[in-house]
Amino acid sequence: MAEAERIIGTPDIPDAEGADGAEPQHPAEGSTRADRGRKKVLALLVVAVLAYLLDLISKMIVVANLEHEEPIEIFGEWLKFDAIRNAGAAFGIGEAFTVIFTAIAAVVIIVIVRLARKLYSLPWAIALGLLLGGALGNLTDRVFRAPGVFKGAVVDFIAPAHFAVFNLADSAIVCGGILIVILSFKGLDPDGTVHKD
């Protein structure tokens, strides 16, 4: 029988793992995975919107009440609120490259949106949401604030002692980046798979 099958050939019947090596999925299982993917994308968007709104509202308050005023001491000399305009990147780095930083922020946003299509991990959704919200927050300043479109100075106001002045968007970007590094070290991919190298 086996010899006959070898000579005649057998119809293309997928094996237990499926034709592509993946586990077989019943329609219900496939839709469940799609639903999980949509929930992770929703989590990403919720985190991004919250980070963006917190950054935007805080900057509006700072511009309205702190600009051209004396710094407000929060914890004595250790932490102050001091409104400044930053034409550089996060923490005041590279003030001569405002347009380049604007382009980088736009590219980061595009990459995150594209990556969201294969997102099945909640920790990755949170990390990418923080990055997206922070990038959008500072990009909004670059586009809409003086001295001009794509050259706007970012509003910074959190001033720890012996450190650069920053804002909530910078904080979201840094926290998202740290979380991505941790997830990468743990071997967790955005699609939810875990690998051990």
Task: Please list the active-site residues.
Answer: 156, 170
- CB contact at 8 A, 101 and 142: yes
- Distance between CA 101 and CA 13 in Å, rounded? 53
- Residue 101 CA to its chain's centroid (Å): 16
Work out the angle between the directed axes of helices 168-185 and 27-65 (0-180°, nearest 10): 150
DSSP code string of 33-75: HHHHHHHHHHHHHHHHHHHHHHHHHHHHHHHHHTTTSPPEEEE
Task: Give the full edge-to-edge strand order of the sheet including 72-75.
Answer: 72-75, 79-86, 154-160
Q: What radius of gyration do the chain's Cα atoms show?
A: 24
Per DSSP, the three-state class of 145 is coil
